[in-house]
Amino acid sequence: MARIIDITPPSREVKPVLVILTSHRMDCFLLCVKCLELYTDINRFKKIYVLANDVGDDHAVIIKAFQKRHKNVIDIHMTPRGMVPAVLAMQNFILTRHLDDVVIKMDEDVFVTPHWLDHMLATYKIHKKYDKIPLVSCLMPVSRTGRRCMARLLRRHYSKEIARLPDTPVEKNAVYHRFIWEKVLFDGLIEKHFSLDRPKHYYLKYASANCVLFDHRLMRALLPMPLKSLGGACCEDEFHINAALMANDMKAVIISGAVVHHFAHSKAEEYLRGHICLDDVWWHMTCLDDSPAYRESHAYAPLKLNASKRELYKLMRERELRVL
């Protein structure tokens, strides 16, 4: 009898290129790197580019120490401060050089969680045959996509609080930033999210580009990103990514079972820092291995053999990705 053999490379054999953008948030970059080293095998990346945009001396020392710890890290320093033109020009150069690779772009204030990379690569493998779904992102509570994907959760557990939130875009909504971080740190928001019945993937016509994975399907539509301001306004990479998605009738896939945390958008950062201590975020992020949200309820967590029949059934449903 004939046998069907899957010759598609498993997701662990995909070696993505990681691009980290950093500028003035040295404390956030330090926690970003800490979480990467805690919850990711750095050797799984083909290369790691740290794009340092007009950083200070202490910041440069932290980047150099990260480079010395890992042989696949390349630091690139550029001026002047700002996304346009220096950072966009360097992103154009790197993406053009890695058209045949899988690229993950990450901001300095993004903090990853256990198994985030497994989820991103597994979801990429599922969707890479679809030309119209070229971008993968984890769920980020403090983002435009995160607010939309977590809307049902917020209505279920915090209906009174969200009714009082300002009806403004997430990028400018400092009160929403504070609300989400308080619930993440002190009220088990992520645990509530994982306990809720939800689709595995959300498909949106736009993406929050703080932590995204893509390949040549998007890069060929995106590059080169224009270095000149459009209509007098400086456009960041997120604008160009979403413009490419819209112009080509493409969609982004958001993974509901993988969470990474984005600290703050620039316009809300000052207010957030006045109410949320980054030390609390540090302790929360560095102790996630002790959180129930990242144990047996997680698709890539070790199997708990003494679990109840109901728990095993729920875990079996969540582990459908293990067939990859």
Which pLDDT score, from 0 to 100, does residue 319 have? 44
Kindly report, residue by residue over 205-249, the tens digit of the pLDDT.
999 999 999 999 999 999 999 887 666 566 789 999 999 999 999
Which DSSP string corresponds to 189-246? HHHHHHHS---SEEEES---TTEEEE-HHHHHHHPSPP-SPBTTB---HHHHHHHHHH
132 neighbors 203 (Cβ within 8 angstroms): no
Tokens 């009082």, located at residue: 164
Which pLDDT score, from 0 to 100, does residue 290 have? 73
Read off the pTM: 0.87
Which pLDDT score, from 0 to 100, does residue 322 have? 35
Q: Could you tell me the residue ranges of all domains in the chain?
A: 11-225+234-323
Please tell me the distance from the alpha carbon of residue 210 to that of residue 148, in angstroms, as a whole number.
16
Please tell me the distance from the alpha carbon of residue 302 to that of residue 103, in angstroms, as a whole number.
28
Which pLDDT score, from 0 to 100, does residue 309 have? 63
Please tell me the distance from the alpha carbon of residue 196 to that of residue 97, in angstroms, as a whole number.
42
pLDDT band at 314 (very low <50, low <70, confident <90, very high): low
- What is the identity of the amino acid at 216? H
Share of the chain above pLDDT 90, in %: 78
Question: Which tokens is 64 given?
Answer: 């150099």
Which pLDDT score, from 0 to 100, does residue 289 have? 77
User: Would the pLDDT of 5 be above 60?
Assistant: no
Coil/strand/helix, residue 291: coil
Kindly report, residue by residue over 9-68, the tens digit of the pLDDT.
555 589 999 999 999 999 999 999 999 999 999 999 999 999 999 999 999 999 999 999
Which pLDDT score, from 0 to 100, does residue 6 have? 52
Kindly report, residue by residue over 159-206, the tens digit of the pLDDT.
999 999 998 999 999 999 999 999 999 999 999 999 998 999 999 999
Which pLDDT score, from 0 to 100, does residue 321 have? 37
167 neighbors 216 (Cβ within 8 angstroms): no
- What is the identity of the amino acid at 141? P
Mean of pLDDT over the chain: 89
268's CB contacts (< 8 A; 6+ apart) are 171, 172, 173, 174, 176, 177
Which pLDDT score, from 0 to 100, does residue 296 have? 47
Phi and psi (nearest 5°) for 132?
A: -90, 5
Share of the chain above pLDDT 70, in %: 85
53: nearest Cα among 28, 75, 74: 75
Kindly report, residue by residue over 248-304, the tens digit of the pLDDT.
999 999 999 999 999 999 999 999 999 999 999 999 999 887 777 776 444 455 445
Domain 11-225+234-323 has CATH 3.90.550.10: yes
